[in-house]
Amino acid sequence: MALHPDRLFPTDAATRGIARALYETVADLPIVSPHGHTDPRWWATNEAFSDPATLFVTPDHYVTRMLVSQGVSFEALGIGQGAETDPRAIWRTFASNFHLFAGTPSKLWIEHALENVFGFSERLQSETADAAYERIQSVLQEDRFRPHGLYDRFNIEVIATTDGALDDLQWHRQIRESAWHGRVVPTYRPDAVTDPDQPGFADNLAKLAEVSGMSTGTWAGYLDAHRARRAVFRELGATATDHGHATPRTADMPQNEAASLYDRARTGRLGTGEAELFRAQMLTEMARMSAEDGMVMQLHCGSHRNHSRSVLADYGRDRGFDIPVPVSFTEALKPMLDAVGLEPQLRVILFTLDETTYTRELAPLAGAWPSLVLGPPWWFHDSFEGIRRYRQQVTETAGFYNTAGFNDDTRAITSIQARHDVARRTDCAFLAELVTSHRMEEDEAFAIAQDLAAGLARKAYRLG
C-alpha cells in the first residue's frame, strides 16, 4: 500500500507540480476543527482506546453501513443483541471485506490512519488482518495513541464537540480546569428542546428549566432558558450553535402567536404541521439570539434519519441508515432572513446533502446576504469528488470568502488528520487547475490555500 505523496493531485505534470507546491505550504498547518462529534469525555479523561475494532469499526457508521449493504450482519460488527464480542473477530470481518471500500473516502481515511498513526502500511485484507490488529493493539496504551497524544500529533489548534442543550458539560468543565493545553470547546445543539417531535419533548423542557434555572412554562421563560444555556456554553468556549432539522424551513410569527404555539407544543396539543412550524419559528429565534450574542449558527438539514424502522429498533440511531431528501433553501430561509439577515453580528453557516442547491441556491444566497456562509461539503460529500464538485459549483458565484473552510465532522478520532489532509490536497488540486488554466495567478493561489486550510474556518467560527 504505502500512501503516495502525490495522491489526489492532478495528473498533468505542470498542474501536479503547482498542486504539490501549494500543498507543501499547508500540509503542516494547525488543524482548526470547528464542527465534529468526538466525545468530550475522551479529551477530559485521556483514557486509552480499548482495541482496533472499537476504534475503527463499531462506532463508524460509514464503515458499518457499507459492510451491512453487502450482507454482513450488524451482529458480526459488534452491534445489537447477541452481537460478536471478540474485537479480533470483528476486525477480521472488517479486514476481509475491506475491498468493498475501493473508491471511497473511508478507504483513504483508514489507510491514512493505519499508516500515519499506527505505522502499518500493508494492504488490509484477510491475510493481514491479524498483523494489523496486533500492531494497533500493541500501542494503544501508549501516550501518543491516547486522545491527548493524537491531539498533539495531529497539530490540532482547537476542536469543537457537539453537545445537547441539556448536557451538564461536565467533561468540558473538567478539561477547562485541567492543566492540559488543548482547546476543546462545546457547541450548543438544542434540537431536543426545539423539536416537538423528539421523544420526551415535555420532559426535555422540564430538564431545560432545571439546568437553566428559568421557568419554561411560558414562551418568554423558554427563550430566556435558551439564552442562559447559550451563555453557559459560551463561558466554556463555545462560539457556535448547531441545528439538525429535517428541513431548512423558517418562520417569523408575531410573538403572541409564537407564544401560543409554544404552549401547544409544551402541552402536547400541536395540530398537523405545527411541529414543523415550531421548529421553523425556533430557527428564527435562534438567529435573533445569535445576532445578539454572536454565536455562529450552523444549519444541518435534509436528512431522513433512521430510514429503516427495523434497524432503528434493533440497532439504534446513527447506523448509516440516514438518507438525504430533496431540499430547497430559497423560500425556506426568507422569513428568518427578512427578520435578521442584515444584522451585522449574525452569521449562519449552511450545510446541505442535496448538491443541487450548490449552484441553484446556496452560492447565490451566500454571494448576496452578508450573514450567510457556506459550510464545507457535508457527510457523503466530504470526499475528493465531493469537495471538487463543491469548489467547481460554488466558487464562480460565491467566491472563496463566502465559504467556511473545512471541518471534519467526525466521531472517528483517528481520521481527523486524514480528513483535513484530503481536503487540503483537493483544494490545492483545484487551485492548481485555476492557475494552469490562467484563471488565477500563482501568488493568489498560495494565499488562498492558507485560507482554505485553516484561516476561513477560524474566521467563520470566530475562533481566532
Site for its own copies in 245-304 (CB under 8 A): 304
Q: Secondary structure of the chain: what % helix, strand, coil (to 5)?
A: 55, 10, 40
3-state DSSP call for residue 463? coil
Answer whether 163's CB lies under 8 Å from 188's CB.
yes
Shortest reach from residue 364's CB to its own copies, in Å:
5
Does residue number 181 form part of the binding site for its own copies (CB under 8 A)?
Answer: no
Does residue number 316 form part of the binding site for its own copies (CB under 8 A)?
Answer: no
From residue 107, give the alpha-carbon distance in Å to each of 61, 102, 110: 14, 7, 5
Site for its own copies in 421-440 (CB under 8 A): 433-434, 436-440
Site for its own copies in 380-419 (CB under 8 A): 380-381, 383-386, 392-393, 395-402
Please identify, using beta-carbon distances, which residue of 215 and 330 lies nearer to its own copies. Answer: 330
* DSSP secondary structure, 61-109, as one string: HHHHHHHHHTT--TGGGT-STT----HHHHHHHHHHTGGGGTTSHHHHH
Answer whether 355's CB lies under 8 Å from 343's CB.
no
Please identify, using beta-carbon distances, which residue of 70 and 256 lies nearer to its own copies. Answer: 70
> What cell numbers appear for 236 in the block?
466554556
Shortest reach from residue 78's CB to its own copies, in Å:
18
Site for its own copies in 121-180 (CB under 8 A): 123
Contact segment (CB under 8 A) with its own copies among 5-13, 112-120, 137-145, 179-187 equals 5-13
Contact segment (CB under 8 A) with its own copies among 22-30, 167-175, 309-317, 405-413 equals 309-317
From residue 251, give the alpha-carbon distance in Å to each of 274, 280, 357, 429: 11, 5, 20, 41
CA distance linking residue 39 with residue 143, whole number of Å: 18
Shortest reach from residue 212's CB to its own copies, in Å:
33
Site for its own copies in 69-88 (CB under 8 A): 69-71
**In the set 131, 202, 220, 342, which binds its own copies (CB under 8 A)?**
342
**CB count in 10 Å sphere of residue 260:** 13
The 317-336 site mask, x for binding its own copies (CB under 8 A), equals ---xxxxxxx-x-xx--x--
Size of the residue set binding its own copies (CB under 8 A): 92
Please identify, using beta-carbon distances, which residue of 153 and 334 lies nearer to its own copies. Answer: 334
Please identify, using beta-carbon distances, which residue of 201 and 321 lies nearer to its own copies. Answer: 321
Contact segment (CB under 8 A) with its own copies among 40-48, 139-147, 200-208, 366-374 equals 366-374
306: left (phi over 0), alpha (psi -120 to 50) or beta: left
Please identify, using beta-carbon distances, which residue of 185 and 460 lies nearer to its own copies. Answer: 460
**CB count in 10 Å sphere of residue 203:** 11
Does residue number 446 form part of the binding site for its own copies (CB under 8 A)?
Answer: no
**In the set 32, 55, 66, 114, which binds its own copies (CB under 8 A)?**
66
Q: Which residues pair with 373 in a beta bridge?
A: 349
Shortest reach from residue 58's CB to its own copies, in Å:
16
**In the set 28, 199, 310, 464, which binds its own copies (CB under 8 A)?**
310
Q: 306-339: string of b/e by CB count within 10 Å (b at 16+)?
A: beeeebeeebeebbbbbebeebbbeebbebbbeb
CA distance linking residue 25 with residue 450, whole number of Å: 8
Please identify, using beta-carbon distances, which residue of 225 and 299 lies nearer to its own copies. Answer: 299
Please identify, using beta-carbon distances, which residue of 226 and 249 lies nearer to its own copies. Answer: 249
Contact segment (CB under 8 A) with its own copies among 76-84, 130-138, 176-184, 305-313 equals 305-313
Please identify, using beta-carbon distances, which residue of 7 and 153 lies nearer to its own copies. Answer: 7
CA distance linking residue 207 with residue 367, whole number of Å: 40
3-state DSSP call for residue 156? strand
Q: φ and ψ at 163, to 5 degrees? A: -135, 140
Does residue number 197 form part of the binding site for its own copies (CB under 8 A)?
Answer: no
